[in-house]
Amino acid sequence: MKESFVIVLLATAAYGQQQRVQDLSQLVGRQVIAQRMGLCQAGTYNVLLAYAGKRAKVISVKPSNIPYLTEKSISKMPPDSRAMMEDFRKGGTILVQFEDGTKIDTCGPIGPSQLSNYFELAPGETLQPATQGGTGESVVSTSSVPAPSTGAPPATLAQPNLLSDEEVKAAMGGKGKDHWVEIQDMGLMAAQGNQVPAITLYMPEAILARQAEAAKKQFTRYEPSDEERQRSLVVVARGYAGKTITEGCTTITRVVLVSDPSSGGVVEESYLSEPLGETWRNNFGAVNECQALRAKFWLDDVRKAEAAAPNGEFFVAVFSGTVRTKVYKIKKKHQSKLELE
């Protein structure tokens, strides 16, 4: 099946009493009701589901470390991509405390558009005005009013994270176009489906080469954006799809790098994640809507997971909601094909 790199955005839902949260720090000190989305024991990836529907107090919001792109890069993005990036920028990891003293967070940064999946305001709660301009961690104050954020966002993305002009030119000329690898789940059950679960890993030069080749075939000029020039590893994960509509298919919601498949060890989250829509239809017109996921990891973070893994062979863990669907081992032969070594 051809991979569709179409970005699908989730519409921002109305949140508690028809209020929309644009600054997550507005929630600090507020009472909320946990929703059905799994939450994690604070500082871990141990998912707890027993607190759905229960009341909690928002203790803090730790901003995500999404890098700020240059205005030139942002201006080249489609409107939907710009909106997604802005949502990521405003995202953060929300820590709450329940009445029994248990502290739970959102397992990682979420954007305002995802908020209603995790929490809604408790009855009678209202929001304070958003704080201005900060990206530091928000901590609850003694008056239960959101404390002002501290710190300032970096002006632009650090240039060392970008491929040089010479590297970009070489990649667009075809150098490194084979620096990608697909790893399939060939388990007994997976092999019986219509689509085998798999991940495909791409180095930046492989993507630049593909884009340049596609543009050439269409007689158009390709000018890479700063985001496409990032020194990052792209992982596209797709899930199982049954041979019939009733067998369903698996939507992928999260991809992480880990050094140890049993304990996690070093865990590296993606800095950018984009859902890729997939539609399955049978001869009778029945349709299943599923989702693959494209995640981008800084190469420095990839090497951290690699350095901490036994024999340098790290893992890619794939999740559907709170369920870990598969862990793929990135062996030395895969790293050699990617030229990660």
Nearest by Cα to 78 from 175, 6, 16, 154: 6
Token pair in block for residue 271: 């800095």
Nearest by Cα to 3 from 235, 308, 222: 235
Confidence of residue 8 (pLDDT cuts 50, 70, 90): very low
Q: How many CB atoms lie within 10 A of CB 273?
A: 19
Which H or E run contains 88? helix 79-89
Whether 176 and 231 have beta carbons less than 8 Å apart is answered as no
Whether 179 and 336 have beta carbons less than 8 Å apart is answered as no
**111 vs 10: CA distance, rounded Å:** 11
More confident residue, 288 or 269: 269
In this predicted structure, the answer to whether residue 190 has a pLDDT above a threshold of 90 is no
Query: What would the pLDDT profile of 103-159 be if each residue is shown by its tens digit?
Result: 998 887 888 888 888 899 999 888 765 544 443 443 333 233 333 333 333 333 334
Confidence of residue 20 (pLDDT cuts 50, 70, 90): low
**104 vs 307: CA distance, rounded Å:** 30
Quick one: pLDDT at residue 335?
94
In Å, how far from its chain's centre is CA 159?
23
**175 vs 330: CA distance, rounded Å:** 23
Which 8-state DSSP code applies to residue 220?
-
**133 vs 137: CA distance, rounded Å:** 12
Whether 130 and 137 have beta carbons less than 8 Å apart is answered as no
Quick one: pLDDT at residue 67?
54
